[in-house]
Structure 1
Amino acid sequence: MIVISRLRPDHGPALLAFEKRNRAYFAASVPDRGDDYFTRFGIRHDELLAEQSAGLHHFHLVEDGDGAVLGRVNLLDVAEGSAELGYRIAERAAGRGLATYAVRQVCALAASEYGLTTLRAATTLDNPASHAVLIRTGFEPTGEASFDGRPGRLYTLGLSAPPH
C-alpha cells in the first residue's frame, strides 16, 4: 500500500535516511543538494515545516505500508494559484509507475485541497524518465531551461477544480 502524506515533524529521520541512501542516484539526473543540506538537515526540516505552515509550499512524502520513504512530491513557491512541482523517487522504487501515481495524487490535492490552478515543472533533458512522468500526467512542454549548465525543459499543467 502506498501512502502520500503531508510532511510532518516526525518525518525528519526517515526523510534524511531516504535522501542519504539515494544521494548518488539523484545526483546522476538532478543537481546534487550538497553536503550542507545533510549537515543542516534538522534545521532545514524545521524551516520547511514553517514555510509549509505559512502556505508557501506543500511537501509530501510517498511511503510504503511500513512507513519507509519511497519518494517525495513537493509543490514549491505557491503564489497566485500556481506552484512548481518537484519530485524524486528512491532508486529501489523507480521504474514501477510510482512517480506517475504520486504526481497524479499530488496534482489532485493541488486542485482540491490547495486551490491551485496551474503547476509548473522542469527537468534536465538527460532525464527521460522524468519527462515521461510529466507527459503521462498531463504536463505540456512550454520552453527550454538550463540547470547548472545542463539543458532542460519546462512544463506546465492547468488544473481544474473537482466538481462539488
Structure 2
Amino acid sequence: MPELQRLRADHAPALLAFERENRAWLARAITDRGDAYFADFPARHRALLSCQDVGTDHFHVLVADDRTTILGRFNLMDVTDGQAELGFRMAESATGHGLATEAARAVCHLAATDYALTSLRAQANLDNLASHTVLTRVGFTVTGETVLRNGTAGRRYVQELTGGAAGATGR
C-alpha cells in the first residue's frame, strides 16, 4: 500500500525522478516548472526543507510499495493564521486508482491534527477535472471565485477543518 511521508532530504533523488518522468503529463493540466527547476533542483529541495523546518510549509510525498518510487506530491503551502493552500500532483501511472483522493484526505487530516490548521484553500484549472473531483471528494467546496493561475482560469475551493475530522468524512 502506498504511504504518505513527510518530505525528507533523502527523498530528493526519487522526487527529481518523479518530476522528470511526469513533466509532459503534468504540463497538460498545470503550468510546466521550466528547465531552471530541474537545473537547480538540489538547491530547491534544500529550500523546501528549510521552509518546512520553520513551519511555513508542510510537504509530503506519496511513496509506492517499493519504498523508492514517488507517486505524488501533496503540499500545504503558505501557512499563516491557521490557514494554508493545498497543492498536489500525481504521476500519470498512479491516476485513476483513488490514490490522490486517499492522500489528499490524509493531508487534510494532518492539517487539522498535526499542524493545527483551521482551514485550507485550493485551486484547480477549469479543465483539470481530476483535481476538481479529488477536492470535492475530500470535503472542499467551491467558493464561486474564478482565479487566474499563470494566465489560465481556475476555480477556488475552501475547506474548514474541525479538530481531526478534516477530510475524513469522504464527502
TM-score class, shorter-chain normalisation, is: over 0.9
Is the counterpart of residue 71 in structure 1 residue 50 in structure 2? no
Please tell me the residue identity of whatever aligns with 1:4: L
| Equivalent residues, number | 163
Tell me, in whole angstroms, the C-alpha distance in 1 between the residues paired with 2:79 and 2:100: 21
Structure 2 residues without counterparts, runs of 5 or longer: 166-171
Tell me, in whole angstroms, the C-alpha distance in 1 between the residues paired with 2:45 and 2:119: 26
In the alignment, which residue of structure 2 is the partner of 1:59?
59
Alpha-carbon shift at residue 149 of structure 1 (Å): 2.0
Please tell me the residue identity of whatever aligns with 2:94: A
Tell me, in whole angstroms, the C-alpha distance in 2 between the residues paired with 1:28 and 1:95: 16
Tell me, in whole angstroms, the C-alpha distance in 2 between the residues paired with 1:4 and 1:128: 23
Structure 2 residue aligned with 1:148, among 147, 150, 154?
150
Tell me, in whole angstroms, the C-alpha distance in 1 between the residues paired with 2:20 and 2:164: 37
Tell me, in whole angstroms, the C-alpha distance in 1 between the residues paired with 2:43 and 2:79: 22
Alpha-carbon shift at residue 84 of structure 1 (Å): 0.1
Q: Name the TM-score, length of structure 2 as normaliser.
A: 0.93
SS at match of 1:13: helix
Structure 1's consecutive aligned runs of 4 or more residues displaced over 6 angstroms after TM superposition are none
In the alignment, which residue of structure 2 is the partner of 1:18?
18
The share of aligned pairs that are identical, in percent, is 52
* Superposition map of 1:104-123 within 5 A: 104-123=105-124
Tell me, in whole angstroms, the C-alpha distance in 2 between the residues paired with 1:149 and 1:65: 37
Tell me, in whole angstroms, the C-alpha distance in 2 between the residues paired with 1:82 and 1:101: 21
Tell me, in whole angstroms, the C-alpha distance in 2 between the residues paired with 1:58 and 1:44: 15
* Superposition map of 1:29-108 within 5 A: 29-67=29-67, 68-108=69-109
Alpha-carbon shift at residue 146 of structure 1 (Å): 1.1
Tell me, in whole angstroms, the C-alpha distance in 2 between the residues paired with 1:50 and 1:127: 31
In the alignment, which residue of structure 2 is the partner of 1:28?
28
Tell me, in whole angstroms, the C-alpha distance in 2 between the residues paired with 1:64 and 1:48: 22
Q: Name the TM-score, length of structure 1 as normaliser.
A: 0.97
Alpha-carbon shift at residue 162 of structure 1 (Å): 2.8
Please tell me the residue identity of whatever aligns with 2:153: P
